[in-house]
Amino acid sequence: MARAGRGPLRPQRPASTLRRGGGVSATVSIEGTGWTLKPRRGHVVRIAREELRWLLRHGLSRAAAVLMLILMLAATVAALDQRARADSARARAQASSDQAFLDQPDRHPHRVVHYGQFALRPLGPLAFFDFGVDAYTGHLIYLEGHRQNSANFGDARQSSLLLRFGQLSPAFVLQLLLPLLIVLLAHAAIARERAGGSLRLLRVQGVPLAQIVAGKLLAQSGVAATLSAPALIAVLTVASAHGRLLPAVLLCALYLLHALLWVLLALQISLLAPRPREALLAGLSLWAVLCVALPRIAADQLQRSQPLPTRVATDIGVQKALAAIGDSHNPNDPYFSAFRQQVLERYGVQRIEDLPVNYGGLVMLEGERLTSELFQQQMQALQTIEASQADALATLGWLSPLLALRPASMQLSGTDAGTHRAFLAQAEQHRFAFVQALNTLHAEEIKQVDDRAQKLSHDTWATLPRFEFVPPAPTLDAQVLRAAAVLLLWMLLLGIALHRLAARAEHAA
């Protein structure tokens, strides 16, 4: 039997001082124990209050909670600073690149095609919360004629191997470390009452087990929400300043559901386990499976079943396809010989020298159109495989809440693969537009005779389009809805299971 003042629940004031309603004493006391309880209506709140007191008194729980709070604050502040510095550096690099392009001297337009431009992907306001795939995809593309380059300068390629151990983003803390702490704090919530004998004591006083569980759930949920608060408040504040409150609210809702889900899971384990030690072992095992093993195994299996071609294989395939089309720089190429005949017929002349435009510029226009179509086909093929992998991973999300939460978190933070694909598509669209604008100048402003010796004024470069990335607007799309459905389903099932377990234990007692 728990001793007064040292048991899981602290003894109350003398029964004569506790009253309900209009002052009629409604307490129940147990002789020799110091325990007093109001019947029914106040049980849940009181048990929740006593659970919080126990957590504060328990040294290990208090230290773990304080450490998590400090970690959450540090991760949020560091991520905000990192995001601000990275975005500022990218903005400066984009401005420097644009200025260098404008500072070119008088040149032939085709030399400017090969001089190219740089396109950098800016960070969204919520990128500090979830780093997503930003560190691995790269954020800079060199845009030039005849080629479609891939993004470079991902942080993972420039940093040490320490980056592979994970970045301390607020999302990382909430996705992996907070569930672990919830297990550590809640695993013994009921098991310790059972092992200490106070659970039997409470039930002898007429406190239903369902209310005991509800009180524990209320207390542990409050702790989880408090520990999540620094990151979620930062998300709402930053999003409000940038007019993006909807994705922030959705992010907060999903992460609170995820935390509540783990509280339900930990309490269910605590209800089933005979002692705290067994409950802790079961909780840690479940955390390892759902948060570490299953996501890793799922990603590896998808890569094996639906492999993406390597960069070398992709480049070789592109070069073979380009060689099959023809060489736009070779006027005797079979394809471009036929093209020449079509041009002569279109303008009603017999010789290239009689054309009112520069034939070399027309060849460049046609060659760029062909190669761009090929680049688009290659990109579509890669993105089809990536979309198939994402769909398969989303299906597995029903097995692990983390698998469902992670892609929705990245999507709402603007750091997912979809945002990167939008950047690639807009960069390619801009590359094609600016190269074709130069090729049009080549055809219309450069004379056929002595083509390479002619130049256009440097003022011309200011008339060419500049790259500006427009991120896709966050919406309540299928990915976010699927994550919400998965988390709600897990909560519903765990809530039903917890209620039935409590009812069964009540009946068996």
Rounded Cα gap, residues 126 and 471, in angstroms:
12
49-72 per-position pLDDT tens digit: 989 999 888 888 888 888 988 998
Give per-residue burial for 15-49: e unless 16+ CB within 10 Å, then b.
beebeeeeeeebbbbbeebbbbbbeeebbbebbbb
SS3 383: helix
Model confidence at 34, pLDDT cuts 50, 70, 90, reads: very low
319-334 per-position pLDDT tens digit: 787 777 776 666 677 8
Query: Can you give the pLDDT at residue 9?
Result: 47
Model confidence at 232, pLDDT cuts 50, 70, 90, reads: very high
Q: Which of 115-119, 254-258, 287-291, 477-481 has the lowest mean pLDDT?
A: 477-481
Model confidence at 6, pLDDT cuts 50, 70, 90, reads: very low
pLDDT beyond 60 at 210: yes
pLDDT beyond 50 at 4: no
- Residue 19: enclosing H or E segment and its boundaries? strand 19-20
Q: Which of 362-376, 421-435, 465-479 has the lowest mean pLDDT?
A: 465-479
pTM of the model: 0.80
Query: What is the average per-residue pLDDT within 105-124?
Result: 90
Model confidence at 284, pLDDT cuts 50, 70, 90, reads: very high
pLDDT beyond 70 at 3: no
Query: What is the average per-residue pLDDT within 408-433?
Result: 90
Rounded Cα gap, residues 125 and 243, in angstroms:
10
- Most confident range (mean pLDDT) of 73-77, 242-246, 320-324 is 73-77
Cβ burial of 202 (10 Å; 0-12, 13-18, 19+) is: buried
Question: Packing angle between helix 245-272 and helix 178-186, nearest 10 degrees?
Answer: 30
Q: Which residues contact residue 212 at a Cβ distance below 8 angstroms, ignoring those fewer than 6 apart?
A: 43, 47, 190, 193, 199, 202, 203, 502
